Structures are given as C-alpha cells and as structure tokens.
Structure 1
Amino acid sequence: MIRLLLADDQALVRGAMAALLDMEPDLSVVAEVGRGDEVLAAARTHQADVALLDVEMPGLDGVSAARELHGRLPGCKVLMVTTFGRAGYLRQAMAAGAAGFIVKDTPARQLADAVRRVHQGLRVVDPALAAQSLAFGDSPLTERETDVLRAARSGGTVADIARELRLSEGTVRNHLSSAIGKTGSRTRAEAVLMAEDNGWLLI
C-alpha cells in the first residue's frame, strides 16, 4: 500500500482528490493538510511514501515544502499537482527535488499512475509543460530584479517598493527598467505579468 499525503489549500479540491485516490486498491490517503508549513510534520507523523503538493499555499509554497521534504525526509517522494502549469514552476520544483509535476485537470487514472511511478523512483512531468519549459528557458532576471518585480505586484509606487526592500528609489527604478528590458515588456505591470506567467516570481 502506498501511503499518500495531500497538501492543498482548497479543501474541496483536496477532498475530491483524496476520494479519487482512495478508490485505488494500492493507494491510501493517510494525511491531508491545507498549508505548506504543515507538510513536513504530517509526512513524518503519518509516514507518507508520496506527498502530492500544490504550488501556491499559505505558510510555505509547494516548491519550498518540496525542498524541505527532499532535504529532511528523502524517503517521501514529491509529486506537484497544481492549477498553475507554468514552466518556471516546473523547473523550480524539479530543482527542489520533486519527482513529478502534473496539472490538476489530469484524469484520475493518470494521476494514480503518476503516483505509482513517482513511488517507484521515476520522474513524471506533464509533456506540454516540459516542452514549454524547454522553450522558455531559465529566468533572465537577477535575484534583485526578481525581488523588485515581486514587490511591484501589489501596485505600489517606486517609493513603496524602495521602503519595502530597503533600497533607494533610484536603485528600484534601475532594477525595474532592467527587468522590463529583459522581459521585452513596455511597462512594469507587463513585466510582472510575464514573469508571473513564466513562474519566475515564486522564489
């Protein structure tokens, strides 16, 4: 029996996934959590073999939770199951130690099969997302440019961003200008949107 941990902040989605997976004769959902910072403790307590993690969760995002599991509980394999099929998320998740990455609209039979393959030590990646990841490549943004774009998501002024990141307004403008240029955008709002769509702002 393969013991599963489900981590998703949407209770209905989590419940539906648990019901589908529990119908499989060799799979058993032993724990469910709604926050990323509850994943490690739940995996330890319930001796999970495979953790199915959403990307965006409160407390700790799924990629960071995957990294924590991989480092501190390597026997528990990680399969990312997310609505956010973004190439950047895929690359970050695999770099964090996830063994698989699929989207939530994957048919139930394929989801169960993905769990089994990950448990066997194989990698499972949504093929369309894998192709997209190869096409887009790694983020062109520096760490500071990423910080500035992440802070710009709230729509605050340059002064607001400077205050939040403890930088001068001139430095913020320089980073914004560079990020706009690298993403081929016309405005910082476009740059934020493009970076988000490519999954460059998660970490």
Structure 2
Amino acid sequence: MRVIVVEDSRSMVGLIKDILKRKKEISQVDVFYDGDSALKKIREEKYDFYILDYELPGVDGVTLAKEAEKKVGKERILIISAFEDFKHDRYNVLHKPFQIGELLKYLEL
C-alpha cells in the first residue's frame, strides 16, 4: 500500500510515520509539507491512501482531497484538522490530537 501524507508540522509527520510503520502492508510513505507540491504529486501519481492536513501553506486539504478523489474512492481519503469544529460531509475527518488506534482504523479498508 502506498500512502501520501501532507502535513506542515514536522512533528506531526513524525508521529504519523511512526504509526504507519505498524502496518506491514504499507510499503511506501511519501511526505509533503505544503499543498502546492503535494497537488503536483497527486496529479502525477495514484496512492492507495491519502492523509491530508486541512490547513496547509498553499493549496488546502479539501482541494487536495477533491483531486485525490478523481483517482480513489472518498473512503481512502482522511483529512486531519486541529479545528475541533471542522467537519466535512464528504470526507472522513480526524481531529488532532488523536489516538494511534483512531488513525489505524481508517487504514482498515
């Protein structure tokens, strides 16, 4: 399984990567720290799962999710957000801070 993580916080990226290492079926994790460079990669390649921060420098996570959805189903897209009141009627949302198991359950497809 190939996963893309788009998150501007390096410490959060480290945490997410540590969690993803627990999943043996994940063979590749690509990381981007801004929406603009991630958008280019999302347009070029297909991933099996997308973990996207809502608020990013450049293009936001919802815009990235819409682009990713052209390649995979919406259930393979997870938006993470520090805004407790952020909800989206189309995509799964995980609020920061989150527990390890909360992230892992979204990867059980």
Q: Counterpart of 1:90?
A: 87
Find runs of 4+ consecutive structure 1 residues off by over 3 angstroms: 43-47
1:18 positional shift: 0.8
Q: Counterpart of 1:188?
A: none
Q: Counterpart of 2:61?
A: 62
- RMSD of Structure 2 on Structure 1 (CA): 2.2
Aligned with 1:106 (options 94, 98, 102): 98
Q: Does 1:34 align with 2:26?
A: no
Matched ranges for 1:39-188 at <5 A: 39-43=38-42, 45=44, 47-71=46-70, 73-74=71-72, 77-86=76-85, 89-91=86-88, 94=90, 98=91, 100-116=92-108, 120=109
Gaps of 5+ in 2: none
More strand by share: 2
Query: Which structure's relative contact order is higher, taking Cα pairs within 8 Å and 6+ residues apart?
Result: 2
Give the match's secondary structure for 1:65.
Answer: helix
Give the match's secondary structure for 2:93.
Answer: strand
Amino acid at match of 1:90: K
Q: Counterpart of 1:23?
A: 22
More helix by share: 1
| TM-score, normalization by structure 2 | 0.81
1:31 positional shift: 0.3
| TM-score, normalization by structure 1 | 0.47
Give the match's secondary structure for 1:67.
Answer: helix
Determine if contact 1:82/1:103 at 8 Å carries over to the other structure: yes
Q: Do the aligned partners of residues 109 and 27 (structure 1) sit closer, same or farther apart at CA in structure 2, a change above 3 Å counting? A: farther
Gaps of 5+ in 1: 121-203
CA shift digits 1:48-78 (9 cap, x unpaired):
111100110011111111122223x235821
CA distance in 1, matches of 2:11, 2:19: 12
Identity %: 24
CA distance in 2, matches of 1:12, 1:45: 27
Count matched residues: 108
